[in-house]
Structure 1
Amino acid sequence: MRLFDVAVVGAGPAGAAAALAARREGAGVLLLDKAAFPRDKTCGDGIAAEAVTVLEELGVHGVTDGYPPVDRLRLVAPGGAAVARPLPRAAHTVPRRVFDERLVRAAVAAGAELRQHTVRDIRDDGDAVTVDDRFRARMLIGADGAGSVVRRALGHPANPPGHLAMAIRGYTRTANTTEQVIVTTERRWPAYAWEFPLGDGTANVGYGEVLRGEPLSRTYLLERLDRLLPGLDPPTAVRGHHLPLSTRRPPPAHGRVLLAGDALSLINPFTGEGIFYAVLSGSLAGRAAARNTDYRRALRMRLGRHLRHSGLAALLTRQSRVVDAAVDAAARDAAVFDRMVDLGLGDGVFDLRTIGRIVSRLGHRHVATP
């Protein structure tokens, strides 16, 4: 078997970013995926500006070409409070069929060797990692999504209820072309519906909520979507997916095997965003694998403080009244809005001023409630 420097399982955003980062270090890279590209991937399709920045640092440009910027966000709280403001940096909505192929083609152009292969078994013998007795690499990166085979091979179970969400997504016509819309709901909170316009008269729409142990049916999820976003045509290309939240993450490295993206449960528990986490963790994993440096430390230095703050935000916002107060504060103060967006879509943290504004509105709403 040919020996690669780095093998990457999964060619989505995390895997493609890992391959790109490893190639920039001069490593020989094997990129494996069970699908042929282009292929659809169930997702909200929202591409935050922070994700684009990471990719540009890897030498990838134009991933959002053809899809106009979406420069506003409207957020509706469970209790009905709402805020609509310009985003600190414009986002895009790019179907994953397009976005992922652009990334994987960039990785191939950079010198990664792409193979279509379904991985079933990995073995780390201390000197290298063998994949299905067919491929061998000095380091292996598991970037194979929420149902990661690599993660299971390391002995890490899937996220339990409370740390796992379920969402459904489809496409429909819309007159909205400039505004991301997120409508939360007090019923079965935390849960929300979204409308992310592509700019061509269509939008990615969906609904998701944190699982509590019982299964959620397609019919139920579509009913909730229709209730929160009434008046839209029934969506097409409807698909469901799991979201392993970052509040329960496995160890990021074991021996010669690293995990990145959804395989590492890097889904923002505050918003469900995962593309930024995917490309960032993938780039850190690819660089660490190529250099044989400490991936745990790199991940902790880059995301550790943010993950603590997002986890705290998820814990606090389990009470829907806290979300009501935060949205109320964001409607009154643009700086609070920007902080909330940075925490939910990028690697931002809360500061004392933002916390003070939210606590103030929480107290005000408590006093005003009979």
Structure 2
Amino acid sequence: MRTYDLVVAGAGPAGAAAAIAARRAGADVLLLDRAGFPRDKPCGDGIAAEAVAVLESLGVTGVTDGYPAIDRLRLVGPDGAAVARQLPRPAHTVPRLVFDERLVRAAVAAGAELRRHAVRRVSDRGDGVVIDDVARARVLIGADGAGSVVRRQLGHPVNPPGHLAVAIRGYAPTGNTSEQVIVTTRQRWPAYAWEFPIGDGTANVGYGEVLRGEALTKAYLLERMRDLLAGAEPAGVRGHHLPLSTRRPRPGRGRVLLAGDALSLINPFTGEGIFYAVLSGSLAGAAAAAGPEGVAERYRDALRGRLGRHLRHSGFAAWLSRRPRVVDAAVDAAARDGDVFDRMVELGLGDGVFDLRTIGRISLRLGHRRPAHP
């Protein structure tokens, strides 16, 4: 078996970012994925400005070329409060069929070796990690998604009910070209539908909700989406799980690290995962390139320094948002105060945090709202 400085399981955004970061530091990288590219992946396709900024810091440009910037967001609260404002920084909607291939091409252009292979077994033997008896890694990064094999091999179970969501997405015609739309609902809260225009007369549309232990059918999810998006009839409907960041495993053990969805890095407030994926992947790749000694601790500290405060605040927001009244109060406050809106967007799409002023504005609106239901 050939030995690599780094083997990355999964060539999605987290894995590709890890490979690029490691190659920039001079590491020898093997990138594995069970699928060929281009390949589709169920997702909202929303690419926040923060994700683009991380990729640009790695020297990756052009990932949103051909897809117009979207500069507005409309948010409807579970009891009907609404706000529509300009985003602090424009976002894009890029189908994962396109976005992921562009990142993989960038990783290969940076010098990573790409191989089609479904990882089934990993074994940390102290002096290296063996992957299916086909390669040995000084460091292994598991970036293989919500159903991560590497995560299971480390002994971490899937997220439990209350910390795992399920969503469907498809593509439907739309006359909306410049506004991302999120419509929340009190029914089976927390839950919401979305419409993210691509720019070609279609939009990525979908619906998701937090799982509570029971199985949810595709028919049920489609019905909920139609109710919230005025009868949208999408094509290409697929479902996916969202492991929320409110229940994360350890980011690494020994020579094995986790990144992206495999680390349960899904924003519990919005379901956003691309920014977390490319950021955690880049941090994991840089940690791996520095060598196997102490790599898990080095990566843990890098994650904590970059995302620790934000993750605490997003977890707090998720706890607060269990009460739909609080969400409507936040939407009310954002409609009245552009700074509150910007804080909410940064918390939901990037690495933002609450501040006392924002909390005060939301508390004030909460005091003005009467409970919609006893």
What is the TM-score when the length of structure 2 is the normalising length? 0.98
Partner of 1:105: 105
**2:169 is paired with a residue of what secondary structure?**
strand
Q: Identify if the C-alpha distance between structure 1 residues 369 and 227 changes in structure 2 by more than 3 Å, giving closer, same or farther.
A: closer
Q: What root-mean-square deviation, in Å, do the aligned CA atoms of Structure 1 and Structure 2 show?
A: 1.1
1:317-344 CA distance string (max 9 Å, x none): 0100000000000000000000000000
Task: Letter of the 1:235 partner, please give it.
Answer: P
Residues 128 and 136, structure 2, Cα contact 8 Å, conserved in 1: yes
Shift of 1:2: 0.8
1:258 matched to 2:257? The reply is yes
Partner of 2:174: 174
Partner of 1:364: 368
Shift of 1:366: 3.3
Partner of 2:37: 37
Task: Letter of the 2:368 partner, please give it.
Answer: H
**1:339 is paired with a residue of what secondary structure?**
helix
Q: 320, 330, 335: which one pairs with 1:316?
A: 320
Cα distance in 2 for partners of 1:318, 1:188 equals 11
Shift of 1:67: 0.2
1:211-267 CA distance string (max 9 Å, x none): 0010000000000000000043x1000000000000000000000000000000000
Task: Letter of the 1:170 partner, please give it.
Answer: G
**2:369 is paired with a residue of what secondary structure?**
helix
Cα distance in 2 for partners of 1:369, 1:121 equals 51
Residues 266 and 276, structure 2, Cα contact 8 Å, conserved in 1: yes
Task: Letter of the 2:219 partner, please give it.
Answer: T
User: For structure 2, which runs of at least 5 residues remain unmatched after alignment?
Assistant: none
Partner of 1:285: 284
Cα distance in 1 for partners of 2:219, 2:247 equals 28
**1:160 is paired with a residue of what secondary structure?**
coil
Give the 5 Å matches for 1:186-335. 186-232=186-232, 234-292=233-291, 293=295, 294-335=298-339
Partner of 1:62: 62
1:51-80 CA distance string (max 9 Å, x none): 000000001000000000000000000000
Shift of 1:278: 0.1
Shift of 1:369: 9.2
Cα distance in 1 for partners of 2:42, 2:372 equals 42
1:163 matched to 2:167? The reply is no
Shift of 1:367: 8.6
Give the 5 Å matches for 1:21-170. 21-170=21-170
Task: Letter of the 1:246 partner, please give it.
Answer: S
Task: Letter of the 1:306 partner, please give it.
Answer: H
**2:238 is paired with a residue of what secondary structure?**
strand
Q: Identify if the C-alpha distance between structure 1 residues 166 and 367 changes in structure 2 by more than 3 Å, giving closer, same or farther.
A: closer
Shift of 1:307: 0.1
Identity %: 79
**1:315 is paired with a residue of what secondary structure?**
helix
What is the TM-score when the length of structure 1 is the normalising length? 0.99
Partner of 1:347: 351
Cα distance in 2 for partners of 1:197, 1:20 equals 29
